[in-house]
Amino acid sequence: MTVRQAFAKEQPLLLPLPANPYPVEEQVAVKVGKTPYVRFDLNDYTVPHPHVRRMLSVRADLSQVRIFDGAQMIASHRRSYDRGQEIEDRRHLKDLVEIEREARQHRGLNSLTRAVPICQTLMIRAAERGANIGALTTALLRLLDRYGATELQAAVEDALRAGSVNAATVRAALERRRLERGEPPPVETSLPKHVRRKDTTVRPHRLDSYDQLAPSGDNDDEH
């Protein structure tokens, strides 16, 4: 019996191929660092920022790279066969820009309320009225640099007594106080970081801790 004859005899007994082809993908585990990119096959692919610093899985076929967090697919990109390329989804980068903007705003608000505690009350009342907290924080930080913490504290108190949470009201109070003292308008200066750092408060440490660095014999009196 020839091979052709054997195949013709067995063919009716063979199962047909499935309607959908069997998925064949390369799958690897990847660790995401501080930036929202995963490295696969010498290229970097973006993921949504909430998934940074996590272990994800990449499933790739000849045309597509899909990225999963557990069973959830969080990103899909065309596969690149170049080297050192960054394949990006604009939505992921837009989210990253927004998160970084919010982080800067948060740091600025912390700096403001530490220097001028009454600003926390002003921000709470401004938020209740639907004000733009980021813009208000930026404006008050400029006034802090220009007039100082003591004057800004007093001006914010004046604004709150007047029932206002507007930066313009605070600025008007600062100017009124300046004119009452007969002082010239403040000049805003932009100093380099090393100059601004010279006024950083340094907390002193106990000096007896340095005694532990020296051998005990060094403290004996010489004869």
Q: What is the pLDDT of residues 103-155, one digit of tens each?
A: 667 788 888 888 999 998 888 888 888 888 888 888 998 999 999 999 999 99
pLDDT given at position 4? 87
pLDDT given at position 213? 60
pLDDT given at position 207? 66
Distance between CA atoms of 155 and 173, rounded to whole angstroms? Answer: 5
Distance between CA atoms of 95 and 172, rounded to whole angstroms? Answer: 37
Lowest-confidence region among 46-55, 156-165, 214-223: 214-223
> CA distances (Å), 87 to each of 24, 30, 80, in order?
22, 16, 8
DSSP 15: P
Element (H, E) at 107: helix 90-115
Token representation of residue 99:
């998160």
